[in-house]
Structure 1
Amino acid sequence: MKVLIATDKPFAKVAVDGIRKEIEAAGFELALLEKYTEKAQLLDAVKDANAIIIRSDIIDAEVLDAAKELKIVVRAGAGYDNVDLEAATAHQVCVMNTPGQNANAVAELALGMMVYAVRNFYNGTSGTELMGKKLGIHAYGNVGRNVARIARGFGMEIYAYDAFCPKEVMESEGVIVCDSADELYKACDVVSLHIPATAETKNSINYALLNGMPKGGLLVNTARKEVINEAEVLKLMADRPDFKYVTDIMPAAHAEFAEKFAGRYFATPKKMGAQTAEANINAGIAAAKQIVGFLKDGCEKFRVNK
């Protein structure tokens, strides 16, 4: 069996070494395609691969057509919208993610961005504190739970809304549960966004929702760019000079945000949530273990396609 690591943004060497150890201990072959610049390179590399580990790399129908021997794709990370799930299912390819492996890294970044924003981006002026503020966690998954854990240390009052997480689970962790996104945003001074990009959530973070937030509202987005209705957020920030927006996913309208709302807006140059040495290693090795489990024992625990 041949396992391919296909990453235009490579794993750290220690992560690749850990992946190799898992794959070769199972008796499989490991191949590397790193820093590739053309899709043709990926199409060539997948021809004889039985399994692929990717990061933000695009696996679409064309790639799947080329990968005649492919059985499984594992996205090293939580999000998997870079994989065409319908095409994978049609090709009888299992798709998995590695939930939780990046969660602490993303959560730490979210809290760091909150501090950066409420202290006026460290510009030397007097800001505010997080202690006593109401924090809304929009989606209480692995990242949301870690955000709650860290925010408790700041003395924040924690609220959450998640349509799929049982209310009693959130309540058992000391979280005040909201019954709708509207209720969450109206209650909270800061909202940390952790929803996936789906047909239902794309463009769902809009003017009406954000305008319900109290004066001095802050939105922190370490989720996905697509969930933000950029035109409506631009309008909101123009109408509400008290509102701040920080994100680790640079919007398409970044230049306009930066020009119009200097001192109230910040975006990192690239997606930063999972960019830590620890998360890089954890997600890569988890992906390798899941591939071994699938190929040897048929384990589909983290399958995301039908």
Structure 2
Amino acid sequence: MKVLVATEKPFAKVAVDGIRSEIEAAGYELALLEKYTEKSQLLDAVKDADALIIRSDIIDEEVLNAAGQLKIVVRAGAGYDNVSLEAATAHHVCVMNTPGQNSNAVAELAFGFMVMAVRNFYDGKSGTELKGKKLGIHAYGNVGRNVARIAKGFGMDIYAYDAYCPKEAMEADGVKPVDSPEVLYSTCDIVSLHIPATAETKNSINYDLVNLMPKNGLLVNTARKEVINEADLLRLMNDRADLKYITDIMPVHHDEFADHFPGRYFSTPKKMGAQTAEANINAGIAAARQIVGFLKDGCEKYRVNKK
């Protein structure tokens, strides 16, 4: 069995060493395709691969057509919208993610954003503190739980909305559940977004919803850019000079945000939530273990596509 690690943005060496150890201990061969620049390189490399570990690499119909032996793809990370699930299912390929491995890294970045924003981007002027602020967590999954844990240390008043998470689970963490996004946004000084990009959530963060936020509201996005209705947010920030927006996913209209709202907007040049040594190692080794579990025992615990 051959396991291919295909990463345009490579894992750290220590992560690759850990992946190799897991794969070779199971009796499988490990192959690396790192820093590739052409899709043709990926198409060639997957021809004889039985399993594939990726990061943000695109796995579409063309790649799956080229991968005649492929049985499983594991996305080292929580999001998996870079993999065509429908095409994978049609090719009888199992797709998994590695939930939770990057969660603390993303949560810490969210707080780095919050501190930077309330301190006016470190421009030398007096800012405010996070202590005592009402924090709204939009989606209470692995990242949301880590955000809540860190927020306690800052002394924040924590609220959360998640249609799929039992209120009792939030309350057990000292978090106040609310019944709708509208209540969350109208209540909280800061909202931290952790929703996935789905048909239901795309463009759902719109003018009417964000406009519910109190004066000097801050929206922090470490989730997906597709959930933001950019035209609405541009219009709202023009209408309300008190709002700030910080994102880890550069908007399509980045230049407009940057030009029109200096001191109220910031975007990382590329998605950096999972860009820590620890997350890199954790997600890579988790992906390797999941592949071994699938190939040896048929374990599909983290499968995200249909059979």
Q: TM-score, normalised by structure 1?
A: 1.00
Q: Which residue of structure 2 aligns with residue 205 of structure 1?
A: 205
Inter-partner Cα distance in structure 1 for 2:165 and 2:88: 27
User: Unaligned 5+ residue runs, structure 2?
Assistant: none
Q: Which residue of structure 1 aligns with residue 136 of structure 2?
A: 136
| 1:106 Cα deviation from its structure 2 partner | 0.2
Inter-partner Cα distance in structure 1 for 2:204 and 2:110: 20
Aligned residues: 306
| 1:148 Cα deviation from its structure 2 partner | 0.3
Inter-partner Cα distance in structure 2 for 1:174 and 1:137: 13
Structure 2 residue 179 is matched with structure 1 residue 179 = yes
Structure 2 residue 279 is matched with structure 1 residue 260 = no
Letter in 2 for 1:22: E
| 1:299 Cα deviation from its structure 2 partner | 0.3
> Residue deviations 1:98-155, cap 9 Å, x none?
0000000000000110000000000000011100000000000000000000000000
Q: Which residue of structure 2 aligns with residue 289 of structure 1?
A: 289
Inter-partner Cα distance in structure 1 for 2:199 and 2:42: 28
Q: Which residue of structure 2 aligns with residue 49 of structure 1?
A: 49
Letter in 2 for 1:303: R
| 1:172 Cα deviation from its structure 2 partner | 1.1
Q: Which residue of structure 2 aligns with residue 125 of structure 1?
A: 125
Q: Which residue of structure 2 aligns with residue 225 of structure 1?
A: 225
| 1:278 Cα deviation from its structure 2 partner | 0.3
Structure 2 residue 109 is matched with structure 1 residue 98 = no
Q: Which residue of structure 2 aligns with residue 107 of structure 1?
A: 107
Inter-partner Cα distance in structure 2 for 1:229 and 1:130: 27
Q: Which residue of structure 2 aligns with residue 81 of structure 1?
A: 81
Letter in 2 for 1:274: A
User: Unaligned 5+ residue runs, structure 1?
Assistant: none
Letter in 2 for 1:168: E
Q: TM-score, normalised by structure 2?
A: 0.99
Letter in 1 for 2:273: G
| 1:167 Cα deviation from its structure 2 partner | 1.1
| 1:293 Cα deviation from its structure 2 partner | 0.2
Q: Which residue of structure 2 aligns with residue 28 of structure 1?
A: 28
Q: Which residue of structure 2 aligns with residue 4 of structure 1?
A: 4
> Residue deviations 1:48-89, cap 9 Å, x none?
000000000000011001100000000000000000001101
Q: After TM superposition, where is structure 1 displaced by more than 6 Å over at least 4 residues in a row?
A: none
Inter-partner Cα distance in structure 1 for 2:174 and 2:195: 21
Question: Matched residue of 1:283: which SS?
Answer: helix
Question: Matched residue of 2:49: which SS?
Answer: coil
Inter-partner Cα distance in structure 2 for 1:210 and 1:111: 20
Question: Matched residue of 1:46: which SS?
Answer: helix
Question: Matched residue of 1:191: which SS?
Answer: strand
Percent identity, aligned pairs only? Answer: 82
Question: Matched residue of 1:129: which SS?
Answer: coil
Inter-partner Cα distance in structure 1 for 2:125 and 2:293: 54
